[in-house]
Structure 1
Amino acid sequence: MLLLVVVMPLAAFAAGAAALLLGLPLALAALVGACLCPTDPVLAASVVTGEPAERDLPGRLRALLTGESGANDGLALPLVGIAVVVVLPATHLGDAFGKVAWEVAGGVVIGLLAGLAAGWALRAATRQRDLEEGPKLVFTLLLAVSVLGIARLAGTGGVLVVFVAGLAYNRMVAESDRGPQDAVDEAVNRYAVLPLFLVFGAVLPWRDWVDLGPAAVLFVLAILLMRRVPFVLVLARPLCLARRDALFAGWFGPIGVSALFYLAHSIHEGVDDPRLFAAGTLAVAANTVVFGLTATPGRTLYAKSRAADPPRSSR
């Protein structure tokens, strides 16, 4: 909970402060920070799932990163929505904040009702033996697509709706049903992320990156080193994390698909300053490359550090 309530807003603040290095206006820098604050669940899963991760990383650390990354991509919506309102000065503040409130509150209500209804339907169908095993495995994928469509029609936050629907659904169904569904979801995520990043690579704004100037290097370094790591280290004791665990959790909080979604959402809402997309995509690209290069060595170093710990006394 601390990672969501404390670290995510602080990460938005730190990323926004880093964006000021690019000479961006304060409001636009705040929007960049809000877009870059969520931890990406797809990229995070690559370091905390699979046989090597289960062998080298403790279950609590893996669960912490998985739970946080799955939650904060939806919970970043209020930060992004408020920042968009501030960036667009011609917007009527009352109407704009009302829209943000509906996106958040409406998304929570729709997601809650949809998740509970889907969970109840699955339990009833399982009890009556009306559902084959194949459709049951892809049930959560169908739920996600359905609630995204409903959110689109209702004008609420799609990512937030899916997150809340997933929480409500998980409360309703048995663990024996969730396990196989989670495996299918994870496989789909891994296959879907490849074409997404191919498209991302095709639209990279190289010229706009050059226009950011030498400060872009400082911006990237600040994002990598200051967006998350210091705050997780400071909160290590309240989180009951060893320093090694806090350092690992702080470093491996990648920026990815969630940030791209919020960048696109901001542009769709009317923020047309090209520096938003340039700064955001530069941070995503740099973070993805650095994360990919350090994921395996970082996990290996963590495992060696654990192995070097003195054995605990049996008394």
Structure 2
Amino acid sequence: MIENYNLFLLICGIAFLLGALFPILFKRTPVSLPMLQVTLGAIVGYFWITLDFLNPIENGVVIEKLTEIVVLVSLVGAGIKIDTELSWQLWRPTARLLLITMPIGIFAMAILGYYAFGLSLGAAILLGAVLAPTDPVLASSIQVGPPNTGGEDTPRFILTSEAGLNDGLAFPFVYLAIKTAEAFSEGDHFTSELLWSWFTHDVVWKIGAGLLVGIFVGKIMAKLVFSKYSKETTISQGYVVIALTLVAYGLAEFVHSYGFIAVFVAAFVFRRSERQHSYHQKLHDFAEQSEGLLMSLVLVTFGMFLGQGLQSGVELTWRVYIVSFTFLLLIRPLGGFIALTGLRLPHTEKYAISALGIRGIGTLYYLSYALNQGFFGEEDALKLWVVCSIVILASIFIHGLSAPRLLKMTPNKND
């Protein structure tokens, strides 16, 4: 175990080195950093190293906590760098993606999971819920730039705001899947009482309370940071980023609401205070560096997990590939087009926004969190891990290769 642990540290070090040298060595190539890091991990996991803690069925808590931290830091970074004002006209496309595209994805994948893979009802709903949100971590490369760096082009803003909010808004459906699985495990059925309880508590209360906690924490933190240092603050940006993240998340979870929503909203509200202050740039830089390091760790580990799975002979049927590519290349883009229909956006922008529904680390978190509740059978759990892993892997390569070209097709306000 010690040898494997030391080798694991070595591989992570190489992954970090790739991250440092990537802008120099791979500037003219179409590959992305996540593609390289996942490939490195997969090769190592298949040929050289076996780590027991990467077994998601037996050690799901490790995966849950690690991915949770990465998503939280990513949400803070996304909230801090948005310059766009909070107005219905500007945020209307985001609202449509959240209220139309995401439910379409959940429903479509639940149907496919139930009929194509023979998942139980709860597991099928869970499949749709964990794959529905756009990942804020892997999508960071297609999001808006640092604070106060100029006008934000529409596609990047919409993708950033969508990724920041839909991670929290996917949670109600994760809980619906958990409650459904719990009811069936106890011999009950899907009832109107279960649906009403889910709607009032997991939808209305938890979303509303999460929003309020985020607003409260964001305003309080901004007052503390900017009240005495309106021109030039000496407060460490590292402390502020971590405090903003943990206070918002911890308080939201304490009142039984959604911490992911609270964290993004707190960062966004904090950003509204002293909007032109250079301190926001410092916060963004720290959050971006932290996110990049944590993302590299997770991606190389995810690659090793894939390599170990292939080496152990995990069965990958044709259905897995068909469903994965159907979701990424048909369901998400079609759902995006439906949501954006009627809006005054250029066709190229609608296409880019609809196509770039990146799936990644957030999916790993939601899946491990739900399975750790203990209401899903091992057969369902294995199928879910296989399908979600292939979707994430395909997304990393498909979107990694296509994102730069798609965004170049759209008009840029900074040009």
Q: TM-score, normalised by structure 1?
A: 0.80
1:197 aligned onto 2:299: yes
Q: CA deviation at 1:291?
A: 3.4
Gaps of 5+ in 1: 308-315
Deviations 1:28-76 (A, max 9, x none): 211210111000011111234679xx9xxx8111111111111111121
Relative contact order (alpha carbons < 8 A, sep ≥ 6): 1 or 2 greater? 2
Q: CA deviation at 1:104?
A: 3.4
Deviations 1:9-39 (A, max 9, x none): 1111122222221111233211210111000
1:27 aligned onto 2:122: yes
1:148 aligned onto 2:244: no
SS at match of 1:33: helix
For 1:293, which of 367, 387, 397 is the aligned residue? Answer: 397
For 1:238, which of 323, 327, 342 is the aligned residue? Answer: 342
CA RMSD of aligned residues (A): 3.3
1:166 aligned onto 2:267: yes
1:43 aligned onto 2:144: no
- Residues paired across the two proteins, number: 300
* Alignment CA distance shift 1:217-1:78 (3 Å): same
In 1, the alpha carbon distance for the partners of 2:338 and 2:370 equals 31
The answer to whether the 8 A contact 1:22-1:219 is kept is: no
Q: CA deviation at 1:145?
A: 2.2
* Alignment CA distance shift 1:103-1:199 (3 Å): farther
1:62 aligned onto 2:156: yes
* Alignment CA distance shift 1:206-1:274 (3 Å): farther
In 2, the alpha carbon distance for the partners of 1:201 and 1:272 equals 25
Q: CA deviation at 1:213?
A: 3.9
Q: Once structures 1 and 2 are overlaid, which stretch shifts more, 197-206 or 71-80?
A: 197-206
Gaps of 5+ in 2: 1-94
In 1, the alpha carbon distance for the partners of 2:246 and 2:361 equals 17
Higher helix share: 1
Deviations 1:211-253 (A, max 9, x none): 5744222221222223311121233433433332222222211
For 2:212, which of 109, 115, 121 is the aligned residue? Answer: 109
Q: CA deviation at 1:132?
A: 0.6
1:250 paired residue number: 354
1:3 aligned onto 2:74: no
Q: CA deviation at 1:128?
A: 8.7
The answer to whether the 8 A contact 1:209-1:278 is kept is: no
The answer to whether the 8 A contact 2:221-2:270 is kept is: yes
Q: Given residue 139 of structure 2, which amino acid in structure 1 is its aligned partner?
A: A
2:62 paired residue number: none
SS at match of 2:229: helix
Q: CA deviation at 1:294?
A: 3.5
In 1, the alpha carbon distance for the partners of 2:408 and 2:231 equals 50
* Alignment CA distance shift 1:47-1:290 (3 Å): farther
Q: Once structures 1 and 2 are overlaid, which stretch shifts more, 147-156 or 6-15?
A: 147-156
SS at match of 1:119: helix
* Alignment CA distance shift 1:274-1:229 (3 Å): farther
For 1:225, which of 314, 320, 329 is the aligned residue? Answer: 329
1:175 paired residue number: 276
Counting aligned pairs with the same residue, the percent is: 23
2:87 paired residue number: none
Q: CA deviation at 1:192?
A: 0.9
2:290 paired residue number: 188
The answer to whether the 8 A contact 1:12-1:227 is kept is: no
In 1, the alpha carbon distance for the partners of 2:410 and 2:168 equals 33
Q: Once structures 1 and 2 are overlaid, which stretch shifts more, 223-232 or 174-183?
A: 174-183
Q: CA deviation at 1:259?
A: 1.3
Q: Given residue 97 of structure 2, which amino acid in structure 1 is its aligned partner?
A: L
